[in-house]
Structure formats: structure tokens, C-alpha cells
Structure 1
């Protein structure tokens, strides 16, 4: 099957997490964009030029046969980096980032922003250099900030800053970032990536826990758990149950049995994909609560 103009526009728009409404703003109607993407309408040259500018590509992108392979390569690289980040394999991430910085396929601003964000995370964990890491994250954030509301990548960059602030014990600075994200992005309801919502709420709960604000921590972790249930997500579910059990016990020790049950549920989730460090920490927490 031919890879049509409409296919290319749709795939790139979705890759950028851009809605049809965002793409068509001040260019044409959303209905026309929909028809173009389904190949039932052909854009005029001026409209196609404006679409290309909005998507951050040259007009040749829509007609060059290598563009499809290029987009697939970029997606594969980003998926690999994301996996290494989840697995805390920061040396591998840094190697890929350094390799791809000068790759023409990554010369678009949003892709340079992505690489700089990932570099900032690696700088902290590999070199324990919080100042440089935060500087890189600020630079990455400022590359994309143009609208009143945050993009999903900008939310993720801010969340990365908050995590580093928490790790260097600047807990109040981290808390302010979490509150800003959750408040200014309409409680994250508009975010398409629900894993991002869950991750932000989970880390906000951990931050509140570290500040001994257990009521606030419970509020965040309950919202994270409700999002998991509503969106049918297992993502971070074990951590969330662990966090809720630990927090609830500090908030109300009389709920000891409920806390143990939550930790047992967390253990069941952990054992689906065992990570020894997580299981050890969880069992230690269960022993502590049982003996209290």
C-alpha cells in the first residue's frame, strides 16, 4: 500500500502528540485536516506549506520516500532511550544521546529538546551533578515553551526537575513544581499519555511523604490509583500500592490491617515482574508495620 500524503501528515501529527485542532488553528478547518488525513481531500500548496511549518518539517518531508523510514528510526531510538531510562541504564542512554545529537534526523527542535531532557537526567545519575543537570533541564524546557499551557514533554521535564530537587533534599522546591503542574494543567485531565499523569501523581505523593505531609501524600496517591483503575493501567501499580500502604500507616496507625493488605497486593504485583530490590524493600516495610 502506498504511503500517502495524508498518512504522513497524520503519523507526524500523532508522533508530536498534536491534535487535529492544534494543527489546523489559523490554517484551515478541522474537517479539512480530517479529510486530508483520510486522503479524501488534497491541500492547496499554501495550506500544505503552513501545515509543514506547524509540524516543523520541510515540504520535501511529505514527498521524500526516505521520510517514512526516518520517522520509524526516530521512534525506535526514542523507545530504546525510554526503556533504558526505566531500567536506570544511564550510561547506555548517554551513549545514544551523544550519537544522535548530530544526526540530521534529530535536528527538529522537539527532538533536540527530547535529547537534552534525557541528557540532563543522565548527568545527574552518572555524575551526581545536580546543578548541571538542572541547567540542562531548564534549557530543554525553554526550547519548547510557547503556549500558556504545558505540553506533555514540558510536564515530563518539570517532573524530572522535581525528582532531582527531591533527591538533593530541596523538598519544598520539588513540591512547588508538582503543585504547579497539577494546578496549571487542569489537574492533568487533558493529557493523552495517562502514564505521565500516574507518574506525576506518584512522585508528588512521595515528595509529600518525605515532607511528612501524609494527608497530602494520600490525596495524590489515591488520585494515581484511581487513574490506574479508570485507565486500566498496571503502570506503577505495585509502587502505588506500596506508597499508599506506607503513607496510610504514618497517617493513621490504627489502619494497620488495611496497610498490610495494600502491601500484600503490592507484593503480588511486584512478583509478576520481579525486581529483587523492590521486593526486599517491600518486605522490610511489611515487617516494620507488623511489629509496630
Structure 2
């Protein structure tokens, strides 16, 4: 990749976050070096580029075309492994890896330690009854500074979503609402869209919290936002679940016909995706709501 192209990306991202060259360079390199990189007059070392990227909330691969991006190193592969285990609810396996890597010098950097503590708190929350301890550990992870305060990373958003999940699971819905709404605001400010599934889950979980707080109108609105987001991403991930949840919210709002229509859409999505277990669950509830709607006519 030509230095000028790399420099343009660096400058665009820096200006997007309104970070000065001096702020970006602090404790990494000189302000003059940043200026030269942006003008394409010099190529930064991989280490300096990585640090500049992290301060602006992106990985080094952001500055390269896909075919030029470096292969995942040990750290990234380990993070991916932990993410995969947590997403599959294999918390015991994940926490064993986390315990080992917290001793690993490769994970001493703030950004890596923040990630490990985040995932450790999620595992602790799900493996024990020490819910408050898990929440406190997650807040410790949240307070670790890894980049400029003006920038946002996918991990920052993920931590807020996890806090929302923990408060929701402990029925502290007002606190959950705060962290979910903050995560939604942060996601809209991301200049580089990362992994989408956490954002899908954000809309899904946020709509449920509004429902728990008996704010059916807002629950429907958030479900619609999630559905539109999924369509924009040309995906089906959580689409059936959102249609089903929207149907429930509408039913309790008194809009029974529209509610049943959304549940039918959910059935169609689950059938298309071959998710028989979800299909049968929604079908049973759909028939129940259908009977209830007839009885109240």
C-alpha cells in the first residue's frame, strides 16, 4: 500500500474524531512524524501504526486493503477463540484460557487486558451467583483507557452491551436501559463498522427491556429499528426473533391483528432458516395469541 493512501486514511480518521496531530502522537512518536505520515513522506513502523490505530479506535488492518492485511497473530487468534467460546456459552473453557492469558506478557497492553477482563466478567456472571462482583469487574474493564477519549471501539460498545445484559438479567431494567441506550449512541458514531451481531443483539435486548418496563410503544420502535438495521446489512440474523418480539409488544398494545401478522413473518423466517425448534415455539404461541384475539372480539 502506498504511503500516501495510508496517510489519507490516518488523517481522515483523526479529523473525524477531531483529534490533533499532537494528541495523536503523544507518547507514540513526534507530531512531525504524524504530519509526514499523513502527507505520505514516510512509512511508519508496524508498531507505531498499530499504536496510532488503537488510539483512534481501529486495528492496524484498517489501514490496509484486505489482501494486504496481516494474518491473525497469536493475540488475535486467542481473542477469537475466547469470543467463540463465550458466544457458545462455553464459559468454563473460556475462563481457563483467560486465566492463562492474563499471565502472558503478550497481553500486558491495556487494550488486550481490557478485553480479557471484559470476557472474564461475562464468564463469572454466568458461572456463579456473584452477580455484583461480575458487574464490578466489568466496570474495572470499562475504566481501562486504551485510546483517545474522543474515539470509540467495538469493544467499548460491547462492554456497554454486556453491562446492559447483566442489569437486565438481574431485573434492574432502568440501569440496563441506560447502558443499552449509551451503546446505541456509540454505535452510530463508529466511522468503521465492525462486527454486526452485537448490534443486532443490542436492538433485540433493548426492545425487551422497554417491554419489561411496560413501554410498549418504545419496544415496538426499537424492534423496528433492529429489523431495518438487519435489512440494511442484507442479513437474517435475529430477524425472526425481532418479528416475534415485535408481535408480542403489539399484542399487549392492543394491536392484535398487526401482532399476529408479525408473528407470521417470524414463522416464515424460521422456516426459511430451518430453525425447527424456534418455529415450533413461535407456532405454539402464535396459535395461543390467535385464540386470545378471537375470544376478545
- TM-score when scaled to structure 1? 0.74
What is the CA-CA distance between 1:279 and the residue it aligns to?
4.3
What pairs with 1:79-98 in structure 2 (closer than 5 Å)?
79-98=80-99
List per-residue Cα deviations over 1:44-103 (Å, max 9, x = no partner). Answer: 78xx8854643579xxxxxxxxxx67x422222222222222222211211221122222
Alpha-carbon distance in 2 for matches of 1:187, 1:94: 31
Check if 1:216 corresponds to 2:214: no
Q: Does 1:259 align with 2:238?
A: no
Runs of 4+ in structure 1 deviating by more than 6 angstroms, as ranges, are none
1:225 equivalenced with 2:227 (yes/no): yes
Distance in 1 (alpha carbons) for counterparts of 2:13 and 2:84: 26
Query: How many residue pairs are counted as aligned between the two chains?
Result: 260
Partner of residue 131, structure 2: 130
Query: Are residues 1:269 and 2:269 paired?
Result: yes
2:52 to 54, 67, 77: 54
Give 1:273 shift.
5.4
Does the C-alpha gap of structure 1 residues 52 and 262 become closer, same or farther in structure 2, counting only changes over 3 Å?
closer
Give the secondary structure class of the aligned counterpart of 1:180. helix
- C-alpha distance in 1 between matches for 2:169 and 2:106: 34
Contact 2:203 2:222 in 1 (8 A): yes
Any residues of structure 2 matched to 1:102-117 within 5 Å, and which?
A: 102-117=103-118
Report the CA distance shift for 1:287/1:187 in structure 2 as closer, same or farther (over 3 A): same
- For residues 85 and 52 of structure 1, the distance between their equivalents in structure 2, rounded to whole angstroms, comes to 26
- Greater relative CO, 1 or 2 (CA 8 Å, sep 6+): 2
Q: Is the partner of 2:171 in helix, strand or coil? A: coil
2:237 corresponds, among 235, 238, 249, to: 235
| Distance in 1 (alpha carbons) for counterparts of 2:282 and 2:107 | 41
CA root-mean-square deviation: 3.5
- Structure 1: how far apart are the matches of 2:81 and 2:118? 15
* Matches for 1:28-47 after TM superposition, within 5 Å: 32-33=37-38, 42-43=42-43
| Unaligned runs of at least 5 residues, structure 2 | 23-30, 56-69, 293-297
State the shift of 1:147 in Å.
Answer: 0.8
Structure 1 unpaired stretches of 5+: 36-40, 58-67
- The equivalences for 1:46-195 within 5 A come to 51=49, 53-55=51-53, 71-144=72-145, 146-148=148-150, 150-183=152-185, 185=186, 187-188=188-189, 190=191, 192-193=193-194, 194-195=196-197
